[in-house]
Amino acid sequence: MAYTGKGKYYKTDEEKRDHRQELIDTIVQKMKDAVQYEEPWFVCEEAPYNRMTGEPYHGANFIALSVQGRSDPRWLTFKQIQELSKQDGVEYSVKGQKGTLIQRWIPAYDKDSDEKPEKESGEEPGEGKTFARGGWKYYAVFNGEQIAGLAPYQKRDKDFENYLPAELLIESMKKEGLKFEHHGEGAAYYIPSKDEVWLPHKERFKTEGLYYRTALHEIGHSTGHPTRLDRDQSGSMRSANQESLHKYAKEELVAELSSYFVGAELGIPYDSSAHENHAAYLKSWISALEDPEKGKQFFSEAVKEASASADFQISRYHEKLQALELQSTNEQDKAISALIKQPVVPTVQKEVKLIRKEKEVAMTR
């Protein structure tokens, strides 16, 4: 496919591009670089979102945009850039820039007797959903840094010195029955049989951020418990069985991706040093992703399950915020009230309210 310069691609005589494989190849290379140079393979301070609609990107699109290494979380299609130019009276341009491809599921609807689409016949594939027919549509988006004339992004003013959002997330998971314990050892882990997260005491971490990042990873594991999302967590890193090793690697990637998604939502920067065996994880993920037969399936399943894990956690987090808002009666609750309000992102000439839509998360209870 070739880029037309207007946010669209057309087919060439070359073999049809496998965009999912291209994304996996990019991720694998970043993981290899991370192993060699001991640096994070994934950096995302703020979750990427669409500048015009205010909607955040999820799943594979979140990853595809975040691995671009941009510090600006704003993304727009070529058409949206044109619309923004008319709206703001400013000639924005992406001349000479290369867009990043993201995907959208387009269902194929059956028609009723009046030749009108029956929308319920073509649902987007997802957790707990089935679908009749449809396909993925790929289109290009451009980052705010690539748009000439667009004012530089101003990071949202977030004072998370005490990591209140992370603490509230932990409290919301406690309400789900998850237990948190601390010890003097240097390891962090989740015990499925007891539904317990064990963490070193906070003072053993170099920063509070590392403590909460580690907690998010282990909480990601906990969403796989039978009373929550009921994932297969039977894999073992000590097994001689390749299938068991594969299951273990996938569960670790699910926990890591969900910690990225949730961390970006809560404003906690990612730091690879949060896990002492991060390099070992990277090598196992590289091996699984490079599998010619199962690599794409491994990636698709991990992203899908990580997205469900993040949705589960964030929905509980918002439930906790709403409950606290009802209980707020004094001055010290102002911080909580501020978190509950819809965040506002500064732009060139106006403000775009980010409206979070509640999502249904399929659970096995």
31-48 pLDDT, tens digit per residue, is 898 888 766 677 666 789
pLDDT confidence bin for 136, thresholds 50/70/90: confident
Comparison of pLDDT for 203 and 105, the residue scoring more = 203
- pLDDT over threshold 80, residue 289: yes
Instruction: Output the CA–CA distances (angstroms, integers) from residue 10 to 6, 26, 138, in the order listed.
Output: 11, 22, 11
pLDDT confidence bin for 2, thresholds 50/70/90: very low
Residue 359: CB partners within 8 Å, gap ≥ 6?
311, 315
DSSP state of 89: T
Per mean pLDDT, which range of 66-70, 158-162, 191-195, 270-274 is the poorest?
158-162
User: In whole angstroms, what is the distance from residue 214 CA to residue 189 CA?
Assistant: 9
DSSP one-letter string for 195-239: TEEEEE-GGGSSSHHHHHHHHHHHHHHHTTSTTTT-------TT-
pLDDT of residue 338: 62
User: In whole angstroms, what is the distance from residue 76 CA to residue 62 CA?
Assistant: 14
pLDDT of residue 119: 56
Average pLDDT of the chain?
A: 79
Per mean pLDDT, which range of 146-150, 266-270, 311-315 is the poorest?
266-270
Highest mean pLDDT among 77-91, 120-134, 204-218, 264-278 belongs to: 77-91
Residues 51, 84: contact at Cβ < 8 Å? yes
